[in-house]
Chain A
Amino acid sequence: AQTVTQSQPEMSVQEAETVTLSCTYDTSESDYYLFWYKQPPSRQMILVIRQEAYKQQNATENRFSVNFQKAAKSFSLKISDSQLGDAAMYFCAYTWETSGSRLTFGEGTQLTVNP
């Protein structure tokens, strides 16, 4: 069974600092995709970044980057120069090639940004 685990229920960071959110997953699939979604208090889920498993290069989107360790089945999110607007619940999610895009989510990490 495919599972996604986020071991940090809560994290905090000072504004302008860097924070890393952890995610591990378990799968027997060879073709799969990993995502980080952000859910602010408004409740709108927003896609932050995605990674194709066949790509060795780590994905980046502005201040957001991932550290994808395929052998270790680890997919962490690094937020650089943290801003107050980054405060949200962050979910790691996984899907595989033949899944029809259905997502399996982790438990979530609540990120607080301190001014």
Chain B
Amino acid sequence: DVKVTQSSRYLVKRTGEKVFLECVQDMDHENMFWYRQDPGLGLRLIYFSYDVKMKEKGDIPEGYSVSREKKERFSLILESASTNQTSMYLCASSLKGSGNQPQHFGDGTRLSIL
């Protein structure tokens, strides 16, 4: 089974802090994704990556950056956390290929910015 592991299930940080959310997958997937989940809005794509050191902006990249130094690890960075970034963050991975490759998700990190 594919395992996508997010480093924290719950995280509390303060406004202005630099925040790192880590995600590791163990199935050698090329694609990795970061989504943000908010009530009534579903999941929205922040950033994604097709390969090491490669990144693409999703639908809501403002205020975020990412890093992919190794194939199995994809980090989401909040450069200067703000209260409107309080949310659930979900990481996912999938095989490279056509659009029908299913994504495998981590358990999510519920981030609170105070």
A97 and B98 contacting across the interface, CB-CB below 8 Å: yes
A-B contact count (CB 8 A): 67
Which B18-44 residues have a C-beta within 8 angstroms of A?
31, 33, 35, 40-44
Residues on A with beta carbons closer than 8 Å to the beta carbon of B98 = 97, 101
Say if the beta carbon of A28 comes within 8 Å of chain B: no
A43 CB → nearest B CB, Å: 5
A102 and B40 contacting across the interface, CB-CB below 8 Å: no
Bound Cα distance from A103 to B31, whole angstroms: 12
A47 and B102 contacting across the interface, CB-CB below 8 Å: yes
The answer, among B33, B40, B44, for a CB contact under 8 Å with A9, is B40
Bound Cα distance from A91 to B41, whole angstroms: 11
Say if the beta carbon of B90 comes within 8 Å of chain A: yes
Bound Cα distance from A43 to B33, whole angstroms: 17
B99 and A99 contacting across the interface, CB-CB below 8 Å: yes
B25 CB → nearest A CB, Å: 14
Which A88-114 residues have a C-beta within 8 angstroms of B?
91, 93, 95-108
Question: Chain A's interface: helix, strand, loop or mixed, by majority?
Answer: loop
A35 and B42 contacting across the interface, CB-CB below 8 Å: no
B36 CB → nearest A CB, Å: 11
A95 and B99 contacting across the interface, CB-CB below 8 Å: yes
Say if the beta carbon of A56 comes within 8 Å of chain B: no
A43-B107, A100-B31 given; A105·B44 CB < 8 A:
yes
A107 and B105 contacting across the interface, CB-CB below 8 Å: no
Report A31-75 CB contacts with B as 1/0, cut-off 8 Å. 111010000001111010010100000000000000000000000
A102-B48, A105-B44 given; A50·B102 CB < 8 A:
yes
Pull 18 A–B residue pairs with CB atoms less than 8 Å apart, ordered by A. Answer: A6-B42, A33-B99, A33-B100, A43-B107, A43-B108, A45-B90, A47-B102, A50-B100, A52-B100, A95-B100, A100-B31, A100-B99, A101-B94, A101-B98, A101-B99, A102-B58, A103-B43, A108-B42
